[in-house]
Every structure is written in C-alpha cells, then in structure tokens.
C-alpha cells in the first residue's frame, strides 16, 4: 500500500464519487480526509458537519450520507464520529448500506472484498491521520469478489431488511 501521504497511484480506483460525513467528534479528521481525497482526484460530497458544533448529533449527518450511498448518489461513504461506533450503528439502519467500524488495514479492504462494504466508519478520537488515510485508501481501492458464497451470505443479510423484528426465520 502507498504511504498515507501519497495519492492512490498504483492502485485500481474502484469508485470516483465519495461521500463524507462527521459530527463534532470527527470534524477535524473528516476535513483532513476530504482534502486528501480531492488531492487524489476523487469527487467528494460533504454531508456535514460544516463547522465543529458540540451540540450536533451524528445521525443528522450520517443518515443523509447513508441514504446517498444506498441511492447511488455516491459510490462509497466515509462516516466519522468520536469513536465511530455511533456512525456505524446509525448507517446500518438505512436499507442497502453495509457499514462497519474499521480501525485496522485488513478489514478495510476485506470488508469490501467479501462483504461488499459500502460505507466505512472511523473514530475521529481514535484513529490518527496517517492510519485513517491508509484505511480509506484500502477501502476505496478494494473490489467485491462476487464469489458465490459471498453473494449467498449477502442475500441473507439483505433479506433481514424486509423481515419484521418478531419473525424468527
């Protein structure tokens, strides 16, 4: 993988349009990553926060991003809150979104390759700039394998989105 300060040279770029969103806990990291993505040639759509505000709530920014990912307005998304946990929980409530909290390099690409992850969640108070950029690069460069076993598993997960909570099968 390239050094975190380098653009995605040498890697196959899978998507061009990336959405980013963060509350106050992830604002600074979001701004840094949005700048790196633009430098690397990505079209970046910001979903907020537009300025640090201690009274903001991550769902106000993560939900519009997740809807944009699910609706195809952006190819993939990056959501950041203080720990990344709230962003992940929130994003996964939107049908068609497969989001995960990622703080290490293997899962950043493997989540896309095996689970067709389309939104990465990071903790702005947990992950530093260099690692965050490396994680985002791996996430964006990865491609879903399309293997039958992965498609089968994802179909089961997608079926849950239309299953009432009290139904057991």
Cα separation, 77 vs 91, whole angstroms: 10
Tell me 57's DSSP state. Answer: -
Is residue 105 part of the annotated active site? The answer reads no
Backbone angles phi, psi at 33, to 5 degrees: -65, -40
Contact 45, 68 (CB under 8 A): yes
In sequence order, what are the residues at sequence separation of 6 or more whose Cβ sits closer than 8 angstroms to the Cβ of residue 130? 4, 5
- Numbers of helices and strands, H then E, in the chain: 6, 5
Per annotation, catalytic residue among 81, 90, 105, 121? 81
Q: Which residues are catalytic?
A: 81
């Amino acid at each position: 993988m390239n050094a975190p300060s380098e653009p995605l040279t040498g890697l196959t770029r899978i998507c061009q349009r990336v959405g980013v969103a963060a509350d106050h806990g992830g604002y600074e990291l979001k701004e840094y990553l949005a700048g790196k993505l633009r430098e690397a040639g990505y079209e970046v759509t910001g979903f907020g926060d537009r300025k640090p505000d201690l009274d903001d709530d991550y769902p106000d920014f993560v939900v519009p991003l997740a809807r944009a990912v699910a609706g195809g307005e952006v190819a993939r998304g990056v959501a950041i809150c203080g720990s990344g946990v709230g962003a992940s929980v929130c994003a996964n409530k939107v049908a068609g979104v497969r989001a995960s909290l990622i703080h290490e390099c293997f899962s950043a690409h493997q989540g896309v390759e095996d689970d067709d992850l389309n939104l990465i969640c990071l903790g702005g108070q947990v992950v530093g700039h260099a690692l965050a950029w490396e994680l985002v690069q791996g996430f964006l460069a990865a491609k879903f394998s399309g293997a039958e076993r992965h498609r089968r598993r994802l179909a089961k997960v997608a079926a849950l989105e239309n299953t009432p909570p009290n139904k057991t099968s």
